Amino acid sequence: MPAPSREPVLVMMSGGVDSSVAAALLLGAGHEVVGVTMKLWGGPSDTGCCAVSDVDDARRVADRLGIEHHVFNFGEDFERDVVGPYVGDHAAGRTPNPCIECNRYLKFDRLVRRADALGFDRIATGHHARVIDTPGGPRLARGIDGAKDQSYVLHVIDESVLRRLFLPVGAMTKADVRAIATDLDLRTATKPESQDVCFITNEHGRKSFLGDRIPLRSARVQDSEGKELGSVSSVELVTIGQRKGLGLAGGSDPRYVVDVDAAPGRQPVVTVGEKADLAVDLTPLESWRWVGEALDDTDLSFQCSAHGSPAPGRVVHGGVEWAAPHRKIALGQSVVAYDAHGCVVGGGIADRLPI
Amino acid sequence: MVMTGSDEAPEIYLDHAASTPLRRAARAAWLDASERYHANPTGSHRAARAARRALDDARDEIAATLGRSPAEVVFTSGGSEADNMAIRGVLHDRGGAAVCSAGEHHAVLEPVEHAGGVTVGLEADGTVSPEGLAEVLRATESVSVVSIMAVNNETGVINDIPALVDATRAYAPDAVFHTDAVQAMSWLDLRVHVADADLVSITGHKLGGPVGTGALLMSDGVVLDPLILGGGQERGRRAGTPDVAGAVAFAAAATGADTERSEVVDRLGALRDRLLVGLRSQLGDLVLPTVLDGGAPVVAGIAHIMLRDLEAEALLFLLDAAGLRASAASSCSSGAQDPSHVLAAMGIDRTVAQGSLRLSLGHTSTDADVDAALAIIPPAVERLVTHGGG
């Protein structure tokens, strides 16, 4: 926990239980706390954090805690830096993670600049991750609650921001967070967690969202020898490892998507194969950034999706060389490296590994 | 100045166009009426008749401040209901198309757009031109209702309602002309300014009356389909048990505003001008030209400015922390600042419009408020400009 002080802290309150408790803990530690909810998405939402009801929850929790609450409209930034690139990535056959981009551009950049302008040296969120001091500087580390750890989607936070960031619930379990919220009689104590992409509704789904913005392209489905097996109507919705919805005749062994080639300017191709074809020894990297010193050829642990299991490997020659065969990763997915203490030491974007 | 909690800065309230403090006379009238008239005014016994008399006295009093007959005054829950009743009521009754300006309050804009209506753009000076309206009316089939606000709520720009009524009579002779005069009643004599309008929306809380009071003025012969059906109150035009105390307090506020108007307009107009001159002299060309510089007529109480290279949302935060309550464009339901549709309709670029600030004065405003604003605003603006605009 932060040392008692009267430092003003701007706390991002999404309307969920974690950020509610984060605000309460900072207040309890003696900080001057101001809550802020970012309004990012003006369209329909039934999954995420931008609904008016969530703003209401954040405001009422702030009222309950006796702190000020403001709403900042960063809708245009969100459209430009998150939604637009998300759509563009899908059109280019990539698999984006918009939560990571929202953290990169909105929560830990745009809002930080706003905090600077308003005179807040400190900011805080309710994420399950920790900031720990190391001789090399502050580092992001996994949250205590392994099942809730969000360090993967936060790996893009710059060191200059980590230095001023409080993550008060990262050091506790979700059960503890809910218990504190219940003790404080916060209305968010039993609120279900937000899931999925906040700007895509469960009702209409990703296909409808993308279809409204870009022409969806059909793709030829073939086997690894190039023999045509069928077609799919929208290559933008096909992902590596997918088994269903490929329009393939039954009867044979299950077949999985092992490659998606949706580069612009030519007919997209989806290649299917056996489960064994999904296992690779190397995941090539399109880009990579070490947090502190470069740790090439060092045994590290790598995570490739928000809730994926970490796997051992090394960064070698612009790729991740796995200690044991690893499931293939789609172009555009983020790969995050951790050291033995669960600290984020690097991160980057997976490149396509053709058959 | 109003003092708030003991450990806070004194409040400088410059958001009267959003809602202005209750007048003492209105408060006294409400308290008296709420004790005295406990009965439902639609009943037949003495207590009911007493309440009915108070309601009709209030109706007479409001009508007198507007130069209308009491029969034209239909009490509503406020301006938004009156606007919806006008637009939707006419469309439900007659069908046809609705036309409004692109700078209308959302209580007009939404019903018009919901019905697939047509909007008239604003001139660069913020007004709706009779020629621009005429052009749209000539191009639109079977227009049944035209709605143009008397005073814009963001900029304070005054529209020439008599000329806009003339354009409507000439190019859509069968259309009903409605005006939202919610922002006008404190500043303009509506006996003159909106005399020719068929339907007029007004509300109490912009005058120093209670929130939740309002009326739609309906000229004789205008027919519309009521929004609220029920017990036939308000001559079948708006059902629901009448709010007697609200009407009485609304009337007290209307009389107060009417009586003081010329003095208040002179006093607040001078304060507003001093505020603008002071901001300009301290901030120089960070203050972009205003609608006043553009030559449009503007009500006395509103100083609408646009500040270069900053975001109003950040400025409002700093002003609020320093005790100054103001606003920018319209706030959306979540409390976030939305881009101004009014400035967009004037052709102002989005990046310029995001620096808009509305400082609005009212009956409680003083010289000290302007002094405080001139001490608080410039350093806040300068801070943001040195931090990339906020």
- Catalytic positions of B, written as ranges: 332
Structure confidence at residue B110 as a pLDDT band (50, 70, 90): very high
Q: Examine residue A3 and state whether it is found in any structural domain, yes or no.
A: no
Contact status of A113 with chain B (Cβ, < 8 Å): yes
pTM of the model: 0.91
Structure confidence at residue A327 as a pLDDT band (50, 70, 90): very high
Q: Poorest-confidence range of A110-114, A247-251, B108-112, B138-142?
A: A247-251
Same domain, A85 and A178: yes
Question: Are A73 and B336 within 8 A, CB to CB?
Answer: yes
Same domain, A235 and A337: no
Structure confidence at residue A41 as a pLDDT band (50, 70, 90): confident
Same domain, A229 and A254: yes
Task: Answer yes or no: is pLDDT of B82 > 50.
Answer: yes
Residue A99 is a catalytic residue: no
Q: Which pLDDT score is estimated for B332? A: 58
State percent of chain A over pLDDT 70: 96
> What angle (nearest 5°) sits at the alpha carbon of residue B5, between those of residues B3 and B9?
60
- Rounded mean pLDDT, A233-258: 87
Question: Are B390 and A114 within 8 A, CB to CB?
Answer: yes
Same domain, A299 and A341: yes
The ipTM value here is: 0.88
Task: Answer yes or no: is pLDDT of A4 > 70.
Answer: no
Contact status of A338 with chain B (Cβ, < 8 Å): no
CATH of the domain at A236: 2.30.30
H-helix or E-strand spanning residue A26: helix A17-28
Q: Examine residue A2 and state whether it is found in any structural domain, yes or no.
A: no
Chain A residues whose CB is inside 8 A of the B387 CB are 113, 116-117
Q: Which pLDDT score is estimated for B335? A: 66
Contacts of A320 (CB under 8 A, 6+ apart): A282, A283, A285, A302, A313, A314, A326, A335
Question: Are B335 and A70 within 8 A, CB to CB?
Answer: yes
Give, to the nearest 10 degrees, the angle between helix B46-66 and helix B244-283: 30
Boundary (domain end) residue, out of A228, A247, A273 = A273
Task: Answer yes or no: is pLDDT of B137 > 70.
Answer: yes
CATH of the domain at A168: 3.40.50.620
Same domain, A68 and A173: yes
Same domain, A56 and A162: yes
Task: Answer yes or no: is pLDDT of B5 > 50.
Answer: no
Contact status of A169 with chain B (Cβ, < 8 Å): no
A contact test, residue of B310, B311, B317, B333 with most A CBs within 10 A: B317
Name the residue range of residue A335's domain.
277-350
Chain A residues whose CB is inside 8 A of the B388 CB are 113, 117
Q: Which pLDDT score is estimated for B338? A: 79
The pLDDT tens digits of the residues spanning B297-351 come to 999 999 999 999 899 999 999 999 999 999 997 665 566 777 899 999 999 998 8
Q: Which pLDDT score is estimated for A45? A: 57
Place of tokens 């459209």: A79
The pLDDT tens digits of the residues spanning A188-240 come to 999 988 777 888 888 888 999 999 999 999 999 999 999 999 999 999 999 99
Closest Cβ–Cβ partner in A71, A75, A76 for B335: A71
Q: Which pLDDT score is estimated for B333? A: 57
Count of structural domains within chain A: 3
Same domain, A153 and A260: no
Same domain, A156 and A55: yes
Place of tokens 């060309």: B285
Does residue B302 contact residue B358 with C-beta atoms inside 8 Å? yes
Structure confidence at residue B227 as a pLDDT band (50, 70, 90): very high
Boundary (domain end) residue, out of A158, A183, A208 = A183
Q: Examine residue A203 and state whether it is found in any structural domain, yes or no.
A: no
Does residue A129 contact residue A150 with C-beta atoms inside 8 Å? yes
- Rounded mean pLDDT, B138-157: 97
Q: Which pLDDT score is estimated for B6? A: 41
Contact status of A73 with chain B (Cβ, < 8 Å): yes
Same domain, A338 and A282: yes
- Of residues A42 and B217, more confidence is placed in B217
Contacts of A21 (CB under 8 A, 6+ apart): A126, A168, A169, A177, A180, A181, A184, A186
Contact status of A213 with chain B (Cβ, < 8 Å): no
Same domain, A292 and A268: no
- Rounded mean pLDDT, A28-49: 81
Residue of B nearest to A75 (CA): B338
SS3 state at A178: helix
Q: Examine residue A142 and state whether it is found in any structural domain, yes or no.
A: yes
Q: Which pLDDT score is estimated for B4? A: 38
Q: Which pLDDT score is estimated for B2? A: 39
Nearest Cα of chain B lies from the Cα of A14 at a distance, in angstroms, of 13
Task: Answer yes or no: is pLDDT of A46 > 90.
Answer: no
Same domain, A284 and A230: no
User: Could you say which of A99, A198, A304, A343 is catalytic?
Assistant: A198
Domains and CATH numbers, chain B: 12-22+261-386 (3.90.1150.10), 24-255 (3.40.640.10)
Contacts of A257 (CB under 8 A, 6+ apart): A238, A239, A240, A241, A242, A243, A246, A270, A271, A272
The pLDDT tens digits of the residues spanning B250-306 come to 999 999 999 999 999 999 999 999 999 999 999 999 999 999 999 999 999 999 999
Contact status of A39 with chain B (Cβ, < 8 Å): yes
Same domain, A343 and A230: no
Q: Which pLDDT score is estimated for A293? A: 93
Contact status of B329 with chain A (Cβ, < 8 Å): no
Contact status of B389 with chain A (Cβ, < 8 Å): yes
Nearest Cα of chain B lies from the Cα of A330 at a distance, in angstroms, of 37
Question: Are A117 and B384 within 8 A, CB to CB?
Answer: yes
Question: Are B334 and A55 within 8 A, CB to CB?
Answer: yes
Q: Which pLDDT score is estimated for A53? A: 83
Contact status of A6 with chain B (Cβ, < 8 Å): no
Three-state SS string across chain B, please? CECCCCCCCCEEECECCCCCCCCHHHHHHHHHHHHHCCCCCCCCCHHHHHHHHHHHHHHHHHHHHHCCCHHHEEEECCHHHHHHHHHHHHHHHHCCEEEEECCCCHHHHHHHHHCCCEEECCCCCCCCCHHHHHHHHHHCCCEEEEECCCECCCCCEECCHHHHHHHHHHHCCCCEEEEECCCCCCCCCHHHHCCCCCEEEEECCCCCCCCCCEEEEECCCCCCCCCCCCCCCHHHCCCCCCCHHHHHHHHHHHHHHHHHHHHHHHHHHHHHHHHHHHHHHHHHHHECCCCCCCCCCECCCEEEEEECCCCHHHHHHHHHHCCEECECCCECCCCCECCCHHHHHCCCCHHHHCCEEEEECCCCCCHHHHHHHHHHHHHHHHHHHHCCCC
Q: What are the backbone dihedrals phi and psi of residue B12, each rounded to the nearest 5 degrees, phi first? A: -105, 110
Q: Examine residue A211 and state whether it is found in any structural domain, yes or no.
A: no
Q: Examine residue A141 and state whether it is found in any structural domain, yes or no.
A: yes
The pLDDT tens digits of the residues spanning A333-345 come to 999 999 999 999 9
Q: Examine residue A208 and state whether it is found in any structural domain, yes or no.
A: no
DSSP conformational letter for A296: T
Task: Answer yes or no: is pLDDT of A134 > 70.
Answer: yes
Nearest Cα of chain B lies from the Cα of A45 at a distance, in angstroms, of 14
Q: Examine residue A39 and state whether it is found in any structural domain, yes or no.
A: yes
Question: Are B388 and A117 within 8 A, CB to CB?
Answer: yes
Question: Are B390 and A70 within 8 A, CB to CB?
Answer: no
Closest Cβ–Cβ partner in B336, B387, B388 for A39: B336
Question: Are A117 and B338 within 8 A, CB to CB?
Answer: no
Chain A residues whose CB is inside 8 A of the B317 CB are 70, 118
Boundary (domain end) residue, out of A183, A203, A227 = A183
| Residues 189-228 in B contacting A (C-alpha not used; CB under 8 Å) | none
Question: Are A113 and B387 within 8 A, CB to CB?
Answer: yes
CB-count exposure of residue B194 (10 Å: 0-12, 13-18, 19+):
buried
CATH of the domain at A290: 2.40.30.10
Average pLDDT, chain A: 92
